[in-house]
A and B are shown apart, each in its own frame.
Chain A
Amino acid sequence: MSTLSLYKFVAKRPFLTNLLKPVANSYANLSGYRKLGLRYDDIIMEENETVQKALKRLTVEEENSRVMRYRIAFQQSLQQTILPKEQWTKPEDDIRYLTPHINEVVAEEKEREAFDALKIIKN
């Protein structure tokens, strides 16, 4: 799931973070999902086992509001329109509710692979 990213490098340096934050925000706004009321984690590709497993770990409330956001976005898409500006997802509401679960599942998968490929060395 991981892609090449300078996120950690930038996040560690306040100067770079402050410099790039507005750019990142306007990029997110330009990408359009916020205008449909979605969050970034709503548009992560879910057609694979890892994300499916992570989705099962959402709480009922998280899952329900995710479905609700999809319905609103789908309706907008059908009507070839976007939401009025006051209903757009605000940057502070654009929470990564799914990514931590995905990272956890990925870590578990890696751990399992490591154990399966384990070689016991006896001293």
Chain B
Amino acid sequence: MLRTGRYTTRLTSSLLRRNLATVVDSPPVQISKTKAGLNVVSVGGHIITEIININKDVAPASSLAIVVKAGPRFETSENAGVAHYLKNFAFKKTAKRSELRQIREAELCGGVLSANLTREYLILYAEFLREDLPFFAELLSDVVTKTKFTPWEFSEIREKIQFEKGTADSIPEVSALESAHNVAFRNGLGNSLFANEISKVSNVDVVKSFADRVYTADNVTVVGTGVGHDQLKSLAEEYLHDLPTGTAVPPTATQYFGGEARITSSLPDAHFVLAFPGASAGSSDFASLQVLRFLIDGDKHTKWGEGVSPLAKTISKLGHGTKVSMFNAGYSDAGLFGAYIYGSPKSVNATALAAVEQLKIATETIGKEDLQRAAAKAAFEAAASFDSRSAKAEIFGSQALYGKNSSIASAIEQIKNIKVEDVRNIAQKTIKSKPTVIALGDTQQLLFADALSI
């Protein structure tokens, strides 16, 4: 929920894919460019081409994603909310197919279609049996190149968007993290995932001009998992050849501001976000922060246990219902690191103070065993984050868009190489920066930022 507004269900990973994973440790990634200048990425493709001749039953489930740099961070104040509209225009009427036809045909193939919006990317995604790749490649490409953007669909979508915004507002976790990003980054990464009531997106032309700007060859990457690379490339050549070669949308460089927001609400629980500037995904600082995150870690990992970290022990004394989870969100050029706490106002205050205390301790002394434990958890987290097909699409698609290429193995290697000094340095840097504090709930009882003794 931290970075994405997802409303779609996904298939669970198939057992067959696990067999494949024993053949090689990490699925090798192949990247190439089409004539139109479009990146095509395939994950595990070479294995498919080798094995398929021997045994057609290996990993028959595949996925295809078109990852577009079209998240809310590319919005301006004139078209705030337009990314949310563009997401909802996915799989609407195209020049070739009606909405109904797209969905019914995908269903007949047993495929699943979804459109996901993150702060940076719009991801058009399909999962299907490998033999249906040509159909889904055509379908997803048509969404990018041939969507009609009719005015009457716009009014239908506006109603749907108002509903989605209402649903999001009723989830305090989403509200708190949305305002944390807004306070921390103001614009760009601080833009909301959801179009709000004062959005200036008043007609379909605004959406269409945004689509024309973001659907360009430099801005789009095609990612396939479990499909042959050559086949994927030739399909991308065929269906996306007329994608305009306009320049990539330059994102405004992210600046961290920090600050405080207090949202009064009659909810029984209080929600509290304490965040600091993080680091961009894949950087060495990001890996250090990831270790710091699991070093402080307030989560209990056994059901009736007390938890191993001092923070978890503090919380278990505060009684039931208090929960703290450390987060470390990495974006292309910035990040947000911090703690999300909820529970009764009093216990939330105590937990916030305890979390700050743990962060201070980390600036001075870090036990060797504690570091090992944290690094192991961080490495597991890194490995697990590559686990699903949809996560692979997002990770490798975004890497290709920014010209990076790092595998699971290198991500884990990076974490294993982290030393006590790295974590201590990053903790010192973190605590010196201006915090972002969001208090949601009974604001009369919740602590102010300056009372956190940072």
Contacts and interface: CB of A to CB of B under 8 A. Distances in A.
A115 B108 CA distance: 10
Interface residues of A, number: 10
Nearest to A56: B152
B151 A115 contact: no
A26 B108 CA distance: 52
A120 B104 CA distance: 12
B35 interface: no
A111 interface: yes
A59 B150 CA distance: 10
Contacts of B409: none
B98 A120 contact: no
Nearest to B101: A111
A108 B150 CA distance: 15
Contacts of B104: 115, 118
B384 interface: no
Interface string A19-36: 000000000000000000
A108 B97 CA distance: 11
Contacts of A57: 150-152
A57 B154 CA distance: 10
Contacts of A111: 98, 100-101
Interface in B132-155: 150-152
A85 interface: no
Interface of A: 56-59, 108, 111-112, 115, 118, 120
18 contacts: A56-B152, A57-B150, A57-B151, A57-B152, A58-B152, A59-B151, A108-B98, A108-B100, A111-B98, A111-B100, A111-B101, A112-B100, A115-B100, A115-B101, A115-B104, A118-B104, A118-B108, A120-B108
Contacts of A59: 151
B401 to A, nearest CB: 36
A108 B98 CA distance: 8
Nearest to A107: B98
A76 to B, nearest CB: 31
Contacts of B150: 57
- A contact patch SS: loop
A57 B204 CA distance: 13
- 3 smallest CB-CB distances across A and B, nearest first, come from A57-B152, A115-B104, A59-B151
Interface string B183-222: 0000000000000000000000000000000000000000
Nearest to B99: A108
Contacts of A58: 152
Interface string B71-104: 0000000000000000000000000001011001
B316 to A, nearest CB: 56
A112 B98 CA distance: 10
A94 to B, nearest CB: 23
A120 B98 CA distance: 20
Nearest to B151: A59
A59 to B, nearest CB: 6
Contacts of B101: 111, 115
Contacts of A112: 100
A112 B101 CA distance: 8
A121 to B, nearest CB: 12
Nearest to B104: A115
A118 B104 CA distance: 10
A57 B151 CA distance: 8
Nearest to B155: A56
A78 B384 CA distance: 76
A56 B151 CA distance: 10
Given A108-B100, A111-B101, A115-B104, 8 more contacts: A56-B152, A57-B150, A59-B151, A111-B98, A111-B100, A112-B100, A115-B100, A115-B101
A2 to B, nearest CB: 19
A120 B110 CA distance: 13
A120 B107 CA distance: 12
